[in-house]
Structure 1
Amino acid sequence: MSQRIIAVDDSDIAQDFINATLSDLGFEDVVSFIDPRAALSAIESDEATADLILMDIMMPDIDGIELCARIRALEKWSDVPIIMLTSRTDMGSLSEAFLAGANDYVTKPFNRIELQARMRSCLRLKSELDRRRSGESRGIRRRAVQAFSEATVPSLFGSKAGFQGSLMSLSSAMQKDLGLIVFKIDGDREQLDATGTQRQELQRLVAGLFGKVDIPARDSLAHWEDDLFVYGSLHADRAQLEARARQFISAVAEASASVKEGWTSRPLSVSACIVPPSDGAVAASLAQGIQGVETAGKTGAAGTICFAADEIGYPPENGQH
């Protein structure tokens, strides 16, 4: 692969692991920085170039959130994907990271396949943005983005990269009118008694059930990653988003499918976290939704609906899913 990767992490052990993992994945052009200030200096002076940045959140002097924000303030680096590396105990910083301009995150210790998938998703998005810029004049691009933004978030069941690309095409005003629902397949993903293939089949099953729910043409549904799905809706208020979430939860519950966990099985169900439209950044809203549904899935009953703004859970009306 020809892409250059910058890795910023103050741990020598972490850097060795990152470099070994990237080498296994075919990324040979890797520039490592132990000192975040040195990384920022090299980036600001144009001594360093990159197609993607991997960045630890917890670092001395300048943490990953501040470093991300400073990099995003540089015009040449505004579109370079940044993936945050975070421990499971530091998930609360993700909202700040997304507000600072991060594209995605991976939890430590990260899975090689997961890291590869997220890097490829970010690199594909970056490549598509570069292609559009090189092939279109400024006026044509502006008209295309405006027409797309005024029309819709794509109605097709899409990918994470496609969903991200759609959000980036929305105007600032449209983003403030966008409501989100983040769905998660219930259960502890680490304890689920299933192989990678079985987990993918489970995700395809839920995707198929979601696909049977009628949604407005202006809305979008995408498989975000692993057991997470994201729904975007323009001009929908809190009550409308809750009603939509219940439709998807009911569609899964009515299928009466089961999931094997150890020696027992449980009914297949999904939980949801609703993020109503707000003046905040869409990336921050997504982070809130992901955090909310992760918490709801662990502490609430199956089929829980929560709201990111107030974290109040609402168990389903029928008491089943």
Structure 2
Amino acid sequence: MSPRIIAVDDSDIAQDFINATLSELGFDDVVSFIDPRAALDAIESDEAAADLILMDIMMPDIDGIELCARIRALDRWSDVPIIMLTSRTDMGSLSEAFMAGANDYVTKPFNQIELQARMRSCLRLKSELDRRRSGENRGARRRAVQSFSEATVPSLFGSKGGFQGNLMSLSPAMQKDLGLIVFRIDGDRDQADAARGQRQELQHLVAGLFGKVDIPARDGFSHWEDDLFVYGSLHADHAQLEARAQQFISAVAEASASVKEGWTSRPLSVSACVVPPSDAAVATSLARGIQGVESAGKTGATGTICLAANDIGHLPRNGQH
């Protein structure tokens, strides 16, 4: 079944072009809005549903930046990918758009291959995030994550939205030179961290330990969600990224903290998945890293560093470090 796409653009000509382009790319379930306020009303009232939103930046009454922020404020729409449509004359607005919660952008007139790649990358990332959340109490988890993010992360890391915005605002050439490390707190989140309060304490503790590790000024770090952290670095090869990942893993191990598991306890540890620079879109690299570190966690090994595969679902054997 084709993903449902919402397209918001105040130009009839642009809407015709968007629909024709999406049809050629195999996206046949498209809901178009000329009026951004009508789009917001439909979204807020649950009259509209979508797997991805394409949104023009420059629109009357409500521009794309405000519309994006209003949509992101809705809990049920917080994970729906939003790709901004921008002309080269309003590229300066992209930083604001990313801070409002946009995932990616394409410039007008569209290159079909680029648009398809960015859409599929965003849909792939959403699918991976949805997969890892299945079976969890979404409402309780969100409250814990929101509390953690507001209380601890800003003092140590950039926000998820700001980190994402910084990544996506890189030039295409710089994006190809971007390496990522995805960290995950080890342990079964349903069993070992059954108490939500303890889970939040662990995230706080790991954030504090990560914050003590010196990193180059050009690098960035963010609490991504729940038990995931994401690190980004330019001009770092695989070996350098692996060495950096080991620094953070060692910082947690050297703290000698423990996690209660029923009547017993285990050492607190984190695992990492290294995603070296490549031609892949940033969203694709993030999805690879998330699945990689999830797969590493399922092996039962702790303090593991894995290398993300080129194709999600085909990961190399994890290495113990």
TM over 0.5: yes
Q: Which residue of 1 aligns with 2:319?
A: 314
1:169 is aligned to 2:169: yes
- Call closer, same or farther: CA 1:194–1:228 in 2, change over 3 Å: same
Partner of 1:257: 257
Find the partner of 1:50 among 15, 40, 44.
Answer: 40
The answer to whether the aligner puts 1:218 opposite 2:243 as a matched pair is no
Residue 284 of structure 1, CA deviation: 0.9
Comparing 98-107 with 239-248, greater Cα deviation is found at 98-107
For residue 299 of structure 1, report the CA deviation from its aligned partner: 1.1
Q: CA deviation at 1:174?
A: 1.3
Cα deviation, residue 51, structure 1 = 8.8
2:193–2:199 contact (8 Å) kept in structure 1: no
Kept in 1: contact 2:179–2:241 (CA 8 A): yes
Partner of residue 138 from structure 2, selected from 95, 104, 111: 111
Q: Return closer, same or farther for 1:117/1:201 CA change in 2, 3 Å cut-off.
A: closer
**Whole-angstrom distance in 2 between the partners of 1:108 and 1:215:** 34
Distance in 2 (CA, whole Å) between partners of 1:244 and 1:185 is 17
Unaligned residue ranges in structure 2 (runs of 5+) = 6-26, 45-49, 82-116, 148-153, 310-314
Deviates more, 1:166-175 or 1:44-53: 44-53
User: Counterpart of 2:233?
Assistant: 233
Task: Judge conservation of contact 1:305–1:315 (CA < 8 Å) in 2.
Answer: yes
Provide closer, same or farther for how the CA distance between residues 282 and 188 of structure 1 changes in structure 2, counting only shifts above 3 A: same
- The one-letter code matched in structure 2 to 1:50 is L
1:208–1:172 distance in 2 versus 1, CA, 3 Å: same
CA positional deviation for 1:277: 0.6
Is contact 1:156-1:220 (8 Å) kept? no
Distance 1:225 1:268 in 2: 18
SS in 2 for 1:279: coil
Correspondence for 2:31 = 41
Question: Structure 2 length as normaliser, TM-score?
Answer: 0.60
Match of 1:270 in 2: 270
Structure 2 residue 89 is the aligned partner of structure 1 residue 99: no
Matched position secondary structure for 1:260: strand
After the TM superposition, which residues 145-224 of structure 1 pair with which residues of structure 2 at under 5 Å, given as runs?
A: 157-224=157-224
1:312 positional shift: 3.2
The change in CA–CA distance for 1:114 and 1:78 in structure 2 (over 3 A counts) is farther
Cα pair 2:125 2:286 within 8 Å, conserved: no
Q: TM-score, normalised by structure 1?
A: 0.60
CA RMSD of aligned residues (A): 4.0
Amino acid at match of 1:223: H
- Are residues 244 and 193 of structure 1, via their aligned partners in 2, closer, same or farther at CA, if it must alter by over 3 Å? closer
Q: Is the 8 Å Cα contact of residues 185 and 269 (structure 1) preserved in structure 2?
A: yes
Q: Show the counterpart of 2:16.
A: none
- C-alpha offsets along residues 64-121 of structure 1, whole Å, 9 cap, x if unaligned? 7xx63xx438777987466259xxxxxxxxx99761467754434551244578899x
Shift of the 181–51 alpha-carbon distance from structure 1 to 2, 3 Å rule, reads farther
Hey, what's the Cα distance between the residues in 2 that align with 1:51 and 1:312? 48
Name the structure 1 match of 2:285: 285
Distance (Å, rounded) in 1 between the aligned partners of 2:211 and 2:55:
39
Distance 2:155 2:146 in 1: 25
Task: Give SS of 1:157's match.
Answer: coil
Deviation at 1:47, TM superposition (A): 9.2
Q: After alignment, is 100-109 or 171-180 more displaced?
A: 100-109
Kept after mapping to 1: 8 A contact 2:221/2:229: yes
